Chain A
């Protein structure tokens, strides 16, 4: 898998910490592999919206990657609940169902961006950098010791 220039937290140079939310173990593992190529860390995983809220409170990640179609509580509802409590939360919806209404609903409820499955690493990489903005720095591969 392609390696990308590591994205770090601007404030302390530490790896970006991700909360990965998807009811599919396969999808979570796939995202975790992609995150590694960005130099990031998986702070926690969750299999539904309810667990996502709990894990967000516990780990306070820099980024949440959130599926939409999940049992118990769907991703858009979970995103809204997290953002109400934590307006600074950066949530990127990651779903195979990428039609306009879903995207608009997610953005209206506080999600920062949307990425359609199957996830293209280069697309997610650009979205992560955009969503983090000035709170992230991209280090050169040589400087990161890669």
Chain B
């Protein structure tokens, strides 16, 4: 996966999380995921279709999800509160939407689908043309993982596909 696809997500996550959590964040680790995706806790999944296709997963362990949701809600939430997963879904939506906006300015066109809760313990394994990149954002509230698997749509953007495999 090329950096031109990743950088907007990093910038967007940095901006959205720093504003929402009201504290600086840093990227703790960045790795390619070769095995199947395994959920850590509360995870939101967003599909993207168009010139670039794939999915973005936002994943927080349960205690971190509760702390993040409580921070946004301005009150302590119990783990069972639906606002906990609602918050994770909306954060995923905002980060993906802002990143897609930046990519659109570079000439890519897509559609962002509404976030859904990722309930399965294990997801599909990444393939040769849809590698998954996992980023860990370290915040004062805990670690937030973003798992991105995107690829150029061959039918819609052949010129990018040609260089993407290099």
Contact = CB atoms under 8 A, between A and B. Distances in A.
Which size bracket describes the interface of B in this complex? 20 to 34
10 contacts: A24-B86, A26-B86, A26-B87, A69-B112, A96-B95, A96-B97, A116-B98, A117-B93, A117-B94, A117-B98
A55 to B, nearest CB: 19
Contact of B104 (A95, A101, A116): A101
A70 B89 CA distance: 13
A77 interface: no
Interface of B: 16, 19-20, 69, 72-74, 82-83, 86-87, 89-90, 93-98, 100-101, 104-105, 109, 112-115
B113 A26 contact: no
Contact of B97 (A30, A71, A98): A98
Interface of A: 1, 23-27, 29-30, 33, 69-71, 95-101, 116-118, 120
A24 B100 contact: no
A3 to B, nearest CB: 14
A26 B83 contact: yes
B19 A24 contact: no
Nearest to B88: A26
A95 B114 CA distance: 12
B33 to A, nearest CB: 25
A20 to B, nearest CB: 14
